Structure 1
Amino acid sequence: MDIKCSVFIAASVDGFIARPDGDIEWLHRPEYETAQLNGLTYDSFIATVDALVMGRKTLEKVVSFPEWPYKGTPVIALSHQSLALPAHVQGKVEVMSADVTTLVKQLAERGMKHLYIDGGQTIQAFLEAGLIDELIITRIPVLLGKGVPLFSQIGSERELRHVGTYVSQNGFVQSTYRVVEAT
């Protein structure tokens, strides 16, 4: 399979991607929105992907946003349950229930070359299946204390190779890692 799977995500310094209730408003402080960022911007990253793959919980959060953030990017939602998609995302989201290895194979057969993997459980499933090639993690200068962890306590050890780190004046620290294939 010649398809790249990347994670592009923000996390608190203590490793959480959301508050316990899924809230991510802590990411949208005014000083964050206006800051000059060093490293890979979201817009530059999203321009390189063929589709975004997320889990049901992430989709439920995203459809609550005032506007759809993935204009022009196909979104694949993983769910083993049927999902009732709100009208404003119909035709923009495809729901698939395959395991992650089969899903990546199916998307590669469609000609996709680069997938953006998002959502805690989905990232974990892709990591556990050995499908993640790259992790781009931006640490936000806040301690949430508790919440949805970026990495769970289950899973197997993965070796990473550091590619680069960028520090922005607002305190964001973005590091890129390549996942080393298990031998």
Structure 2
Amino acid sequence: MDAPFTGSVFLGMSVDGFIARPDGDLAWLTGGADAGGAPDDGEGGDFGFAEFVAGIDALVMGRGTYEVIAPLDEWPYQGKPVHVVSTTLGPGADPRIAVHGSFDDAVAALAAAGYRRVYVDGGRLVHTFLTAGLVGELTLSRVPVLIGEGHTPFGPLPADVLLEHARTRTFRGGMVQTTYRVR
């Protein structure tokens, strides 16, 4: 599928490749009670997330990811259009988002809006964008923990997705963040 925009992914995951536990729990990633406090990069930073968001035109996420983000005290995407793919949220469910009933509807809306770089978030949606050939860049931040099972954005693909290494950064505490370009 051709689109006039590039999908960019920025995910935190366990070393064994999971983005959430089977029940959706993220405490191991977000610094919950069992994880020893809020994560930072050792210098009071956010592992480059704010810089990444500053470089995108819009976001698209699945309903599950939206439900994690929606109740946050501070909306992390100030000034960026947020699109949510959901068959259960109705239009006007939240004035901060645009709701699309399908992947195809979301892609059409993102293309029609003229966005060039779109942040794709949420495991199933990332997989759908990868399958459709709409991801141009992946930034994967591996948190030094093995959780054994959970949700992954990767799974069966119609063909191999060849990647080119762009950069790797390491952070105090052991997180390793690698960015790949899709070839």
Q: What TM-score results when the alignment is normalised by the length of structure 1?
A: 0.85
AA paired with 2:42?
A: A
Q: What residue is the counterpart of 2:34 in the other structure?
A: none
Q: 1:146 to 1:179 in 2, by over 3 A?
A: same
Alignment of 1:40-59 (within 5 A): 41-59=48-66
Q: 1:57 to 1:144 in 2, by over 3 A?
A: same
AA paired with 2:177?
A: Q
Q: What residue is the counterpart of 1:115 in the other structure?
A: 118
Counterpart secondary structure, 1:148: coil
Distance 1:171 1:34 in 2: 9
Which 5+ residue runs of structure 2 have no aligned equivalent?
32-36
Runs of 4+ with >4 A deviation: 37-40
Aligned residues: 175
Q: What residue is the counterpart of 1:33 in the other structure?
A: 40
Is the contact made by 1:39 and 1:174 (CA closer than 8 Å) also made in structure 2? no
Q: What residue is the counterpart of 2:132 in the other structure?
A: 129
Please give the per-residue CA displacement for 1:102-152, whole angstroms capped at 9, x wherever unaligned: 533432221211100000000000000000000000000011111111312
Alignment of 1:1-183 (within 5 A): 1-29=3-31, 30=37, 32-33=39-40, 35-36=42-43, 41-83=48-90, 90-100=94-104, 103-152=106-155, 154-156=156-158, 157-180=160-183
Q: What TM-score results when the alignment is normalised by the length of structure 2?
A: 0.85
Which 5+ residue runs of structure 1 have no aligned equivalent?
none
Is the contact made by 2:40 and 2:46 (CA closer than 8 Å) also made in structure 1? no
AA paired with 1:79?
A: S
Identity %: 39
The worse-fitting range, judged by mean Cα deviation, of 37-46 and 114-123 is: 37-46
Counterpart secondary structure, 1:57: helix
Q: 1:118 to 1:169 in 2, by over 3 A?
A: same
